[in-house]
Structure 1
Amino acid sequence: MTGDPTTLCEAFQRTAGRFPDRVALRGADCGRELTWADYARRVRELAVGLAGIGVAAGDTVAVMLTNRVEFHLVDTAILHLGATPFSIYNTFTAEQIAQLFANAENRVVITESRFLATVRAADPDGRIEHIVCVDGEFEDTLTLDAVIATPVTDFDFDAAWRAVRSEDLLTIVYTSGTTGPPKGVELTHANLLFEFAAMEALAPIGPDDRVVSYLPDAHLANRAFAHYNNLIRGVQITTVADPKQLIATLPQARPTLFLAVPAIWYKVKSGIETLIAAEQSTPRGLLLRWAVDTGASVARLRFAGRSAPLSLRIQLILADRLVLRTLRARMGLDAIRIAVSGAAPIAPDAMAFILGLGFPVCEAWGMTESSAAATANRPDAIRIGTVGQALPGVEVQVAADGELLIRGPLVMRGYRHDPEQTAAAIDAEGWLHTGDIGGIDADGYVRILDRKKELIINAAGKNMSPSNIEGAVRVSCPLVQSVMAVGDNRKYVTALLTLDPDACAAYARRHGLADGAPAVLAEHPGVLAEIESGMREANARLARVEQIKRYRVLPVTWEPGGDELTPKMSLKRKPIAAKYAAEIEALYD
């Protein structure tokens, strides 16, 4: 095979052929490792077996799995048949899954035992012909071994994957739906290969790199950053089925590439702030605070294009040797070459804090409909407060109403079976209307203000960004996990807050409290005093009209995939407003 690969099947075959003895996939417990040779053999076996149960080119196959090695095996095997795998969020209800089945028209589902009841409930009419369960034998299901044992005798595996074309459908990604039913974004092999070629120009990636797959594979960011990165660039993947085990996994996985949504970076910041608070009066605590503050100060200057004074640069060298290097190693993030923050804007102060720790975090921006990133900060040219410049071959412009538009080969084929929504999203000139409001500076750096439909317009007609307000609170209040700013058509801004369980547990230990549950601490005077102090600090960062006048600390925790948060931890603003209408109205009494 010469030239660049034209499909992800061809990319996988090249990668497996070049590095047969290297580890390609591994479980979080290190008990299971597959080399590229193992991976290629299993893909061949599974593809032939899936053909045996009727999966053919042009078909769709649903995959509802946690982050585990089997996800990569079955997804890649399906691709080699010329079929299209699509992933389902683990938190989706049977009703939501039924909508996906109707849109995708799949006849096969690959899942695990914990989701069997939900999958079956999503198919009351029995249109699903085969349910494959990857972790055991259950009634009316097939195991992976059973699939492998039913091959088509005359099936030509190599001919099947070679017949796949660049314009063929690679996957359908169903949006998590903050405002309505999920839409099926159709992406081709050409879309993703262009995306990776563009990203390669910013940061070369190869088989020596390691990633941790812990975010949902139903979300394109993780699917691309881990799974497709693995197929195309040969990076090694460590799978983490339970995101709560991420912290324990990082020290032994030691990723060189790391992807996180802003909520994860806020949690890193909160954890370190909690560590400092626990020893604030001790020499160790003072040293830690000095080191962190020194790093953040240099980061702010460096990434604003200004040179730090020699004395500050010397202090940073000492801070890194004495504290920061050890801190990164304890977290298992000392090997990181490139870290990416995406899915939502991150507060500039939080970004400076994270960069100051020595993490090369590049904020990027895009959407499922643009095959993930359309812009990104280069590791050597990060500009805090921006999402970087357009990737090579991608055009970004600002419409008359401030909406950002994207054009290029990474724009989706369209929404599945929905020409009206497709026409609304992609205009006649090929511009994808993103729904994000932003601007582009003279150097081409893009800034995101907020979602077009989520801007707060107060009673006086002032436009405000809720994410900017919420980011200020997250930076200033380590005890807070989720924030939703309210103020549309109101006289002033209010907010609903929830507490971070981990930060609450640390607070309880620090203060000798028997119960550190958020429901208990939401009414604790000491916690409320800390939050009040943090809110004053947050308001000091905001324009007067943006400042939060009243707020409510809720005695609950909002979980990803629940009523309040999408699986990628974005706020479901309308459902939250409806569910907590009484609490919101009380803030305006």
Structure 2
Amino acid sequence: MSDTQTLIENRPPSVATLFLERVAATPDGEAYRYPVPPAAGEGPDDWKSLSWAQAAERVYGIAAGLIDLGVQPEERVALAANTRVEWILTDLGILCAGAATTTVYPSTNAEESAYILADSESRVLIAEDAEQLAKARERRSELPGLRHVVVIDAEGVQPAADDPEGWVLSLAELEARGAAYLEKNPESVRERVAAITKDQLATLIYTSGTTGRPKGVRLPHDNWSYMAKAIAATGLLGPEDVQYLWLPLAHVFGKVLTSGQIEIGHVTAVDGRIDKIIVNLPVVQPTYMAAVPRIFEKVYNGVAAKAREGGGAKYKIFQWAAGVSREYAKVTQDNFKRTGTASAPFGLETKHKVADALVYKKLREAFGGRLRAAVSGSVALAPEIGYFFAGAGIHILEGYGLTESSAASFVNPGEAYRTGTVGKPLPGTEVRIADDGEILLRSPGIMQGYHGLPEKTAEVLEPDGWFHTGDIGELSVDGYLRITDRKKDLFKTSGGKYIAPTEVEGSFKAVCPFVSNIVVLGADRNYCSALIALDEPSILGWAAENGLAGKSYAEVVAAPATQELIQGYVDRLNEGLQRWQTIKKFRLLPRDLDVEHGELTPSLKLKRPVVEREYKGLIEEMYAGAREA
């Protein structure tokens, strides 16, 4: 048996156990960094640290506080908060109490929050602030099983006349209760951790489905223990790494990163404020971070826009450097695949060095200057954007997984990564491609099933453990997986041709530096069309230089000059497509798609049915008078 197999097969039953082992092994090592905004409200944040021992003190206090509130093993404790160090500490506290965390996005409305709390039978809610508490209060009549709400930021929280006694308490009060409980029962938390079995429920994550009510995905303790060991076994990370964690921890992609960190013992800097990413990166100077493609697309659009603002010569240099970086990445990756060495011909190497001094070095500095690798997941990254960053020395390792597979099933293997693929299976994960192209997975990371929905579980999970992902893909002879589309997103034109919309959408994002979101349409129609939302800062920057200064976003996208600009990029896209894939008509949307209007999930995945309902009029307009075959 190999060392990797031994590592995975001899895993402990829970991440709670791994946490105790990590604290014992490196109590004084730095575990977490987190920002503290200045008291005056202006100026840079002050970053503070917690050692593993300091983190454990708080985790024990939270765990013991929950035990004192009467929380039993496997009972659910809901957590509705943004990504912050307290999210991690409370999640670990829940797990160390033997309970299970129900994750709730803080952006979820009161109605859906109440549904999740009721369906999961959560006994306690840990709410970030007064806003999250207000949602629970509004729907309290629907939540008879919710015994307590613990508020992380208790500032502004006022007692309500109809609150049951002791129903609301602050996180500080919970930890104080826990400390008092531990004085009388010093071994209580360790006893709870020791009693955890691998099949015991650890986490309920509700998938933000594109239609209908979300389903609760049941992830037992063994899923996270396996993930921790499998991530460590990839060799991508070491104890000296610094991770920048901003992803939503209510999402499985963010959550799995906390398990890997505990096993490896590296530092994690935690701040979920998306508007602070650009400011934080040079301060944190991460060696590693995970993100969704939208972040890399925004950075790419931003760099292109800045170059354009610098004048024609500067923009030409950027375009030349972007072309060099893509060529360099493709050549070096191809050479590595064939020879094991990432080499490039002398002429290309020379051009690359010049471009590095002019463009790439500044780009790397914007990411903090020490970034070895960035993992991208959730949705596909357009290969041309991946190649751009790869050639610039920012190595984006695409990965793949689902909530139902505890997030990480595939990841690109370090130096041997291949842009446009999601890499190879994690150690311990099996994959096969069904006759219709669907990707099937089997591993210790696969869910137990959907909470209270045995029929839905049976639709995707076979008795022998194979999980139907709903994604279409191809495996190379040496085991690299390429995702071609969501099975349910594939559509057929009235002419009988199958279209993979995400492939076309990704190609457009690589061609057009102004695009934010694009939805390709054409099911049962005789040609494809698209709804396009533009990136506001980029298009307004262009507008200011093209006679549209001072106009609003909606006015700019309605202007004939903007329509002509985007038509040019659509024409470029069409040059590289098969005839039946080409975009015959498009409409620019009056605003970008967003989470608030329900068009994107909190992890920024497109909800196609919602967009199609919202913009039905524009869609019909594009097909008005068209003869359907």
TM bucket (normalised to shorter chain) is: over 0.9
Residue of structure 1 equivalent to 2:192: 160
Residue of structure 2 equivalent to 1:247: 278
Establish whether residue 326 from structure 1 lines up as the match of residue 333 from structure 2.
no
Distance in 2 separating the partners of 1:323 and 1:486: 37
| Aligned 8 A contact 1:518 1:557 in 2 | no
Distance in 2 separating the partners of 1:517 and 1:121: 37
Deviation for aligned residue 1:505: 3.9
Deviation for aligned residue 1:259: 1.1
Deviates more, 1:388-397 or 1:63-72: 388-397
Unaligned regions of 5+ residues in structure 1, if any?
A: none
Distance in 1 separating the partners of 2:479 and 2:430: 11
Correspondence for 1:150 among 155, 168, 177? 177
Deviation for aligned residue 1:292: 2.8
Give the letter for the 2:194 counterpart: R
Mark the CA change 1:300 to 1:264 in structure 2 (over 3 Å): closer, same or farther: same
Deviation for aligned residue 1:110: 0.5
Residue of structure 2 equivalent to 1:357: 392
Correspondence for 2:153 among 135, 148, 151? 135
Distance in 2 separating the partners of 1:422 and 1:291: 49
Residue of structure 2 equivalent to 1:300: 330
| Aligned 8 A contact 1:43 1:77 in 2 | yes
Give the letter for the 2:88 counterpart: H
Distance in 1 separating the partners of 2:247 and 2:586: 30
Q: Which secondary structure state, in structure 2, belongs to the residue aligned with residue 304 of structure 1?
A: helix
Deviates more, 1:213-222 or 1:198-207: 198-207
Distance in 2 separating the partners of 1:74 and 1:462: 51
Q: Which secondary structure state, in structure 1, belongs to the residue aligned with residue 432 of structure 2?
A: strand
Residue of structure 1 equivalent to 2:266: 235
Q: Which secondary structure state, in structure 1, belongs to the residue aligned with residue 137 of structure 2?
A: helix
Give the letter for the 1:212 counterpart: Y
Identity %: 35
Establish whether residue 565 from structure 1 lines up as the match of residue 603 from structure 2.
no
Distance in 1 separating the partners of 2:176 and 2:26: 28
Mark the CA change 1:351 to 1:85 in structure 2 (over 3 Å): closer, same or farther: same
Residue of structure 2 equivalent to 1:188: 220
Q: Which secondary structure state, in structure 2, belongs to the residue aligned with residue 223 of structure 1?
A: helix
Residue of structure 2 equivalent to 1:55: 71
Distance in 2 separating the partners of 1:517 and 1:221: 36
Deviates more, 1:20-29 or 1:422-431: 20-29
For residues 161-214 of structure 1, the C-alpha deviation after alignment (integer angstroms, 9 at most, x for no partner) is 222222222211111111232111111222122223333333342332222222
| Aligned 8 A contact 2:518 2:531 in 1 | yes
Give the letter for the 1:138 counterpart: Q
Give the letter for the 2:222 counterpart: A
Deviation for aligned residue 1:22: 3.2
Residue of structure 1 equivalent to 2:16: 9
Mark the CA change 1:420 to 1:122 in structure 2 (over 3 Å): closer, same or farther: same
Q: Which secondary structure state, in structure 2, belongs to the residue aligned with residue 369 of structure 1?
A: helix
Correspondence for 1:374 among 397, 405, 409? 409
| Equivalent runs, 1:180-579 vs 2, <5 Å | 180-225=212-257, 227-282=258-313, 284-305=314-335, 308-329=344-365, 331-511=366-546, 513-515=548-550, 517-579=552-614
Deviation for aligned residue 1:518: 2.4
Mark the CA change 1:26 to 1:468 in structure 2 (over 3 Å): closer, same or farther: same
Residue of structure 1 equivalent to 2:116: 100
| Aligned 8 A contact 1:92 1:561 in 2 | no
Distance in 1 separating the partners of 2:147 and 2:349: 64
Establish whether residue 66 from structure 1 lines up as the match of residue 110 from structure 2.
no
Distance in 2 separating the partners of 1:221 and 1:77: 20
| Equivalent runs, 1:72-83 vs 2, <5 Å | 72-83=88-99
| Aligned 8 A contact 1:438 1:450 in 2 | yes
Q: Which secondary structure state, in structure 2, belongs to the residue aligned with residue 142 of structure 1?
A: strand
Q: Which secondary structure state, in structure 1, belongs to the residue aligned with residue 518 of structure 2?
A: strand
Give the letter for the 2:238 counterpart: G
Give the letter for the 1:276 counterpart: A
Number of residue-to-residue matches in the alignment: 585
Deviates more, 1:202-211 or 1:550-559: 202-211
| Aligned 8 A contact 1:252 1:332 in 2 | no
Unaligned regions of 5+ residues in structure 2, if any?
A: 1-6, 36-44, 625-629
Deviation for aligned residue 1:291: 2.9
For residues 520-574 of structure 1, the C-alpha deviation after alignment (integer angstroms, 9 at most, x for no partner) is 2211333323211111111122211111000000111211353211111111111
Deviation for aligned residue 1:15: 1.9
Deviates more, 1:65-74 or 1:331-340: 331-340
Give the letter for the 2:20 counterpart: Q
Residue of structure 2 equivalent to 1:114: 131
Q: Which secondary structure state, in structure 2, belongs to the residue aligned with residue 247 of structure 1?
A: helix
Distance in 1 separating the partners of 2:235 and 2:189: 34
Deviation for aligned residue 1:490: 0.3
Deviates more, 1:460-469 or 1:249-258: 249-258
Deviation for aligned residue 1:50: 1.6
RMSD, aligned α-carbons: 2.0
| Aligned 8 A contact 2:11 2:229 in 1 | no
Distance in 2 separating the partners of 1:486 and 1:510: 32
Deviation for aligned residue 1:508: 4.3
| Aligned 8 A contact 1:167 1:190 in 2 | yes
Normalising by the residue count of structure 2, what TM-score does the alignment of the two structures yield?
0.89
Residue of structure 1 equivalent to 2:4: none
Q: Which secondary structure state, in structure 1, belongs to the residue aligned with residue 204 of structure 2?
A: strand
Q: Which secondary structure state, in structure 1, belongs to the residue aligned with residue 82 of structure 2?
A: coil
For residues 331-362 of structure 1, the C-alpha deviation after alignment (integer angstroms, 9 at most, x for no partner) is 13421122111112222212111212211111
Distance in 1 separating the partners of 2:447 and 2:620: 41
Residue of structure 2 equivalent to 1:40: 56
Deviation for aligned residue 1:236: 2.1
